[in-house]
Structure 1
């Protein structure tokens, strides 16, 4: 009888222990923002108003040298959500959904769902709304319409009726509540979902579309800024640039009121920058609402929060308006990680100079949650979250294609950015670029490849690039979206 009681107590104790372990496994909330470069107060910008993002940085670790794997939405997000680099996935454009080519790949939400997590996608997470839909326990897709003003909607209707392929105005600032625009509604959906799943283990992605074009936000965020404070960037391409290094910026050209050719005049440039900044403050406020909900529901103590962007964006630099390049301005991204507040050794108000990449998110969350390790291209940066000054990787890597033949492979070591343009079909080098790179981007304006002073540096960077993109393997990288 005593033995039976002892065994029963052991079983009950084990069951309680497993339940407690399940309870203690952290939740995760990831804010995935579209087209946001490190243009935030916590990254040193003196004009932008981003109090909620800045508060998260003070409550965690800000990574200064974080990089996207490709400066375009769909492949970047696929890389984040699979933990694999674009050259492993083989999809480089926005036109090919992941699951149309890869039914077999294990994605982050699929893995976490298999491990007993409730997985939630709100807003724009994958570029294609229904891509990998079955991997989410709750899936609230992004909305398409971005305009609310009657005059904007009238313009869109008139263009459509005239058979003209064009978007609406490039910016709008209606005097409306936050949820009149789609990121406000996505935020409401995220908050509503948190109330429903508060007693479950969860992985939630909140996809905020701004500051992607059109630069639309409620008027109160527009009113935070004075147009005269904005400086028009130099509209000059870097000297001795490779002919395909910059993209023509058709993305903005497709919007009503934007000239079809030639540079923008300065007043319109300032309007667009104004809209970009207002959009940042708008999504900052939405993030703040979700963070408040985590606190109100007593979830923050057991929830790691990540804030990141899929890639950067040019707001007039080099005379361009888009991402779509290998320049520092397009691949450098904000990346902030704040551990669950109950974690006794959590690091706060810290900055790390370590090279980290968006592809590192998946393995980081796997380690955080104590789940079985996966074979991924990224590295867990949880050690850096716990100790930001650890010695880490020596470089970060990205790529960008030009058509079906040419691929630009790039890396940075913090001082220089080096890019090789490679003809994959003929397996030969087409051109190379070496730039100084820093946070103000303005030193990335002269290609140093032929400067005798920097030939040793060029050779070092070439070897560094070859570590990730070996020349003898480049022609074998798949391209599935031909």
Structure 2
């Protein structure tokens, strides 16, 4: 009798668990390489991005979200593990994430372990920082990862910094990534299990190649060049660089200023690529709706870091300044209300625990991110004082802390000593034209930011082991 009763109870538990898994929402996880917030939903009146804007209207737009490493390898390894760059061990474009940190648990792997079918296509990790380009971190996926077959245009003409071929979307890599995403979605929709589908687009990464029809959406003469194209007063000597990423392309000067005509061409190309990717996002969401899955799917869209388009004379990322660290982050819950916009500081690290809370699975211990669910549903204004970006330069590690108003950056050498520091006030100086670190009027602000930075430095080994001085 006891055995029969135990079997009955066990059967009910298993049945309830299976039902709970079936009722869990899906996740559509959309990554976009090098995308800064040049989107309509971020107030950009030039950008033509109707598909992303539609997702934003149904969810929360994080206006003050920042990456944890302003280059793709470290950024993606960090956000996929919810560990700051030093904690996950990836701070370049060559370190293998699991070789450095064998016990690491990734976001998609965690969902797989919780009963989801996890699948992916495109660029989710930087392939140089995981096992290989084909598997793209095999433990993260329930079924083999799907990579696109890029066209000859994207290989033979890579030395051209811009290109507008008169081709269809699927003739280029991001169109193929959308094709793959749609095929995977159809397969996963009929699996009987909730799915975690990651789709990573590669534009607007250099070179700026997009079908001609997306270039034709814009008039080049109407693009405005960056207002502040010179350096920073009281520069720390760690903030700026000479746009090395751009310099290797044909027609780009190897040194010195970028001519204004070329600047407009580059900006035009960036916006054309953004609209190209926006159209691919629209295709994914349309298929989700056609399959009847839209109302039971959380959509999360993010960029891995920003991109300087001429401000401070910089083209590219690789800085701890606003245009390199600030990213689009849009979260559309599958049900319930969501505040439309928020200025709460947010990190890409926060996506891991946020998605767990949104779908109702456990949040792993030991991660550095914080759930943004309370911000999304409006029950709290913010879950952190600032967002932290880390970067390495000239042997020092920079810790850049962005609050609602300020950015405070400490550069520490290998001995943990402060070799440079920066302070920007975006209320009085939104273009970062001057470093206020030695301004006596900001001494109290600096003390407060120093305390907040140190208190929120989980996973930052060098910073935690140091005793930063205050000026």
Secondary structure of the equivalent of 2:320?
A: coil
Pairs within 5 Å for 1:87-102: 87-102=86-101
Matched, 1:359 2:342: no
Match of 1:212 in 2: 205
Match of 1:164 in 2: none
CA distance in 1, matches of 2:139, 2:380: 39
Match of 2:80 in 1: 81
Match of 1:161 in 2: none
Secondary structure of the equivalent of 2:18?
A: helix
Match of 1:474 in 2: 462
CA distance in 1, matches of 2:159, 2:29: 30
Unpaired runs of 5+ residues, structure 2, are 128-132, 466-471
Matched, 1:278 2:272: yes
Match of 1:240 in 2: 234
Match of 1:420 in 2: 410
Q: TM-score, normalised by structure 2?
A: 0.90
What displacement does 1:146 show? Answer: 6.5
What displacement does 1:100 show? Answer: 2.9
Q: Deviations over 1:213-244 (max 9, x none)?
A: 11111111100001011111132011111112
Match of 1:113 in 2: 112
* Cα 1:283–1:6 shift into 2, 3 Å: same
Spell out structure 1 runs of 4+ moving beyond 4 A: 3-16, 141-147, 470-473
Unpaired runs of 5+ residues, structure 1, are 157-166, 478-482
CA distance in 2, matches of 1:473, 1:49: 42
Match of 1:163 in 2: none
Match of 1:263 in 2: 257
CA distance in 1, matches of 2:147, 2:11: 45
* Cα 1:297–1:267 shift into 2, 3 Å: same
What displacement does 1:290 show? Answer: 0.3
CA distance in 2, matches of 1:64, 1:372: 27
What displacement does 1:147 show? Answer: 5.7
User: Is the 1:61–1:347 contact (alpha carbons within 8 Å) kept by the matching residues of 2?
Assistant: no
Secondary structure of the equivalent of 1:380?
A: coil
User: Is the 1:216–1:279 contact (alpha carbons within 8 Å) kept by the matching residues of 2?
Assistant: yes
* Cα 1:14–1:99 shift into 2, 3 Å: closer
CA distance in 2, matches of 1:414, 1:391: 10
CA distance in 2, matches of 1:441, 1:56: 32
Pairs within 5 Å for 1:288-437: 288-340=282-334, 343=335, 346-348=336-338, 350-375=340-365, 376-387=367-378, 389-403=380-394, 405-424=395-414, 426-437=415-426
User: Is the 1:238–1:444 contact (alpha carbons within 8 Å) kept by the matching residues of 2?
Assistant: yes
Match of 1:203 in 2: 196
Q: TM-score, normalised by structure 1?
A: 0.88
Match of 1:251 in 2: 245
Match of 2:469 in 1: none
CA distance in 2, matches of 1:71, 1:387: 29
* Cα 1:72–1:364 shift into 2, 3 Å: same
